[in-house]
Amino acid sequence: MTPPTETGGAASAEAMADRLALLSEAVASYGGTFLYVGVPTQMTVFADEYPSYLYSGAELRAEAAAAFSAALAERDIAFLDMAQVFDENGGAKTYYMSTDHHYTLKGAFLVYQTLCERLTSMGYVIPTLTENDLLFSAVEAPFLGSRSRALYYLPRLHDDFYTFALKEPIAFTRADNGQPVPASVIRLPEPLSGGVGYGAYMGGDIAETVIATNRPELPSILLFGDSFTNAVETFLYTSFDETRSLDLRHYTGMALTEYVRLYRPDIVVCLRDDANYLTETGNGDVR
């Protein structure tokens, strides 16, 4: 299957940036801030390990990413490139799984921290977790990564699945698709002997999740994107009064611009991987 960005080019980057500019204008109309966060996909991170007879698509993704970044800059849309941040903090391979196409929980934590740092530099006052606020622990269960699953778990590769606990918990309520659910951000399966997958973070890809912490002095945020958002969401709510998340592959309640005008989040963030920067369906449908 050809990665989506490989079918696009400068024209596609311009078209996607135009769509995002309209969303940014909708957010700005009530005084909000829009920010785009880009992350590398696993294919990009490990491209140098592909044997010569396998195609990684890294060069075309890099070209699309450069065109997309330039198009966002031309429209004054804030862009946070996590590929550069990972490189500056030990290299992206440190933060990505071998058996799954996502980053690890530590990788998601770095995305969360960097996002909060950027928002702070933009004038927002938000508390930001450090590693001293958390207790990370590996789950004693097989990790069922998406890449290994596609190969019937034949590769002899291993990743640990990590969870965490806050040293000082923050009370919150949670609703999924408009219905109250238990206040948790990591949902481990029972029994654990059957293994655990990336979907344990936030319970997987959910159309709409709303977490409220009843701290009106803090700003509100809306995060939308594909499953790379899930692990980030496990930390994100701790820094905001209300945290909304949408997966537009599943959410059908209203158009995104209608949604932001209705709920008026102070901050709107799109988080997508570099294989999907130019994809105009799902979380690229930002009308």
pLDDT tens string 270-287: 999 999 999 999 999 999
Q: Is the pLDDT of residue 153 over 80?
A: no
| DSSP assignment letter at 103 | B
Task: For CA atoms 171, 175, 180, 182, give the dihedral sign.
Answer: negative
29-48 pLDDT per residue, tens: 999 999 999 999 998 999 99
Provide the residue type at 182 as one letter. Answer: P
pLDDT at 179 over 80: yes
272: left (phi over 0), alpha (psi -120 to 50) or beta: beta
Which pLDDT score is estimated for 12? 94
Q: Is the torsion defined by CA of 37, 42, 45, 50 positive or negative? A: negative
DSSP 93: G
Contact indicator for 261, 27 with CB cutoff of 8 Å: no
Q: Under a CB-based contact definition with an 8 Å cutoff, are residues 115 and 269 in contact? A: yes
Residue bearing tokens 């409220």: 212
The predicted pLDDT at position 275 comes to: 94
SS3 state at 222: strand
Residue 134 near residue 169 (C-beta atoms within 8 A): no
Task: Considering only residues 146 and 142, tell me which one the structure prediction assigns the higher pLDDT.
Answer: 142
Task: Provide the domain limits for residue 278.
Answer: 4-284
Among the residue ranges 52-56, 65-69, 142-146, the one predicted with the least confidence is 142-146
User: Based on the structure, what is the number of domains in the chain?
Assistant: 1
Distances (CA, A) of 254 to 23, 67, 180, 263, 285: 14, 30, 20, 12, 12
Please write the tens of the pLDDT for every residue from 231-267: 999 999 999 999 999 999 999 999 999 999 999 999 9
Q: What whole-number distance in Å separates Cα of residue 284 and Cα of residue 276?
A: 8
Calculate the CA 197 to chain-centre distance. Answer: 16
Distance CA 70, CA 154 (A): 41
Residue the block writes with tokens 């659910």:
181
Q: Quickly tell me which residue has 């319970």 as its tokens.
A: 203
What's the start-to-end Cα distance of the chain, in Å? 27
Percent of the chain with pLDDT over 90: 80
- Please check the confidence at residue 148 and state whether its pLDDT lies above 60: no
Across all residues in the chain, what is the average pLDDT?
A: 92
Q: Residue 40: exposed, middle, or buried by beta-carbon count in 10 A (0-12, 13-18, 19+)?
A: buried
Residues 82-129 pLDDT 10s: 999 999 999 999 999 987 889 999 999 999 999 999 999 999 999 999
Q: Answer yes or no: is pLDDT of 149 > 50.
A: no
Weakest-pLDDT range from 3-12, 33-42, 203-212: 3-12
Can you say whether residue 70 is alpha, beta or left, with left for phi > 0 and alpha for psi between -120 and 50 degrees? alpha
Q: Indicate if the pLDDT at residue 6 is higher than 60.
A: no
pLDDT of residue 150: 43
pLDDT confidence tier of residue 156, bands split at 50, 70 and 90: low
Ranges 47-56, 140-149, 211-220, most confident: 211-220
